[in-house]
Structure 1
Amino acid sequence: MSTLPTRVLVTGFEPFDGEHANPSWEAARRVAQHPPPGTNVTAVQISCVFGAAIDELRDAIEAQSPELVLCIGQAGGRPDLTVERVAINVDDARIPDNAGRQPVDEPVVQAGPAAYFSSLPVKACVAAARKAGVPASVSQTAGTFVCNHLFYGLAHLIATQHPGIRGGFVHVPYVPAQVAHRAVPSMAADDIATGLRAILVAARDTVTDIRETGGATH
């Protein structure tokens, strides 16, 4: 008897802050078009808007009933795929979101926990991406903009409404077209997608995370 494919939801953001593309969505689309074996992947674009982002994620989870959720966001300036370890319960926006909202020191969820750890095996995910030839590392901060907002929202949904789901967040670099006129790290969308496919397989198949160095001094 064959095993049914793992139902996977991947999300990427719409462009923001004056950009014409968002590598998180470009990569998410590619992963859904060519999913890793043993997975059935649906990609959903999320608005870069506080509040609405979590609402859209909730709707997608209810519509797709995934077993695994991987949210993806742009981290301009980072040189590699960064698998996020922790989401914190604070919105503190350096710039306005796409609806002009700019919360300062507000909770993502009123009376929610201070933080949630990813329910994915973050170090195994990093190792898998590297084995696939894509630079990757553990990140200790998802920021305080809409990416962290969505990551925290995902973790809270899992903790309070969908305990059978596992999920986490990965930040990805700019794509080359975004940095053609500035000296900032970038990565091709196809390479990002290759790393994400490896991360999904590791997240699906790894029960206990590996123990290896992945910390940071600051």
Structure 2
Amino acid sequence: MGAARDLGPRILVTGFGPFPGAPVNPTEALVADLADAPPRFDIPCALRMAVLDVDYATIATQLSAIGNDFSPDIAIHFGLAAECRGFRLERVARNSHAGARPDRAGGLPASERICAGPPTLSSSLPLDAIAKALGEHDLPVEWSDDAGGYLCNTVFTLSRAGACNGLDPAMSGFVHVPMAGEGTQFRLTPAALRQGACVIVQTCLRHWASGRHAS
């Protein structure tokens, strides 16, 4: 653990496995790609990639296991929103399971409230800087104040609330992406997804190095 800290901030990047209506999740492939060929950044850091199971009953336990083992300083969570036209930067996590849909096992959350804490929590990622950096790489960006009623919003809320053991990053937030593939405006190639994820991580690293995360 000390060696990882010597490398700079610990950065957690997560995606999700399949869920009803999405037998293939591009964020799972994205995380696998980043793990297989770790990107290099101009600021030292320790990277951890993880694919989360789309399961209400175990999601907090999954995050706690990662947190206890890695204790990230920065957490960047990715998820699928098929209607996206690009990298959708989520500004607000809502501490509610209202409108929840069944998870990959058909389960639903046990309570309407996700965790202890305020009803809403704002992303602590440097979203304006991320949007600018993505635009400079000709990658499409859109904004959202509603991360939905599914596990994406659940993870966003748990991460921002510091509600899981070991997982209380100084910076965390959520980014939705469209399906991967060639063709329509609603898709990004796997290469573009990887490039965008790397731009997001690099921007967060620079923000961290500037010390602005502590303000």
TM-score class, shorter: 0.7 to 0.9
Alignment of 1:74-85 (within 5 A): 74-85=80-91
Tell me how far 1:132 sits from its aligned partner.
Answer: 2.2
Q: Give, in whole Å, the separation in 2 of the partners of 1:129 and 1:184.
A: 16
> Are 2:144 and 1:143 aligned?
no
CA positional deviation for 1:51: 3.6
Whole-angstrom distance in 2 between the partners of 1:23 and 1:15: 9
- Segment drifting more, 148-157 vs 198-207: 198-207
TM-score for the superposition, normalised by structure 2: 0.83
98, 107, 129: which one pairs with 1:101?
Answer: 107
Q: Pairwise mapping of residues 1-218 of structure 1 onto structure 2 (< 5 A)? A: 4-32=7-35, 33-37=37-41, 38-93=44-99, 95-103=101-109, 106-109=112-115, 111-157=116-162, 165-176=170-181, 185-206=186-207, 208=212
Contact residue 93 and residue 102 of structure 1 kept, 8 A: no
Partner of 1:212: none
| CA deviation after TM superposition for structure 1 residue 176, in Å | 2.3
1:199 aligned partner, one-letter code = I
Describe the SS at the equivalent of 1:42. strand
Structure 2 gap ranges (5+)? 1-5
Contact 1:88/1:148, CA 8 A, preserved across alignment: yes
Q: Matched residues in 1 for 2:212 and 2:143: separation?
A: 16
Structure 2 CA distance for partners of 1:5 and 1:79, relative to 1, 3 Å: same
Kindly report the root-mean-square deviation, in angstroms, between the aligned alpha carbons of the 2 structures: 2.6
| Contact 2:85–2:178 (CA under 8 A) maintained in structure 1 | yes
Q: Secondary structure at the match of 2:188?
A: coil
Aligned length: 202
Q: Kindly tell me: are residues 164 and 104 of structure 1, through their superposed partners in 2, closer, same or farther at Cα, counting changes over 3 Å?
A: closer
Percent of pairs with identical residues: 27
Q: How many Å separate the matches in 1 of 2:79 and 2:85?
A: 14
Give the whole-Å Cα distance in 1 for the aligned partners of 2:192 and 2:50. 20
Instruction: Sort the Cα spacing of 1:172 and 1:53 in 2 relative to 1 into closer, same or farther, 3 A.
Output: same
Which residue does the alignment assign to 1:214? none
CA contact (8 A) 1:24 1:73 kept: yes
Change (3 A) 1:123 1:51: farther
Distance 1:159 1:102, change over 3 A: closer
Q: CA deviation at 1:62?
A: 1.4
Secondary structure of 1:154's match? helix
Deviations 1:107-126 (A, max 9, x none): 111x4210111111111111
Deviates more, 1:23-32 or 1:195-204: 23-32
Letter in 2 for 1:165: A
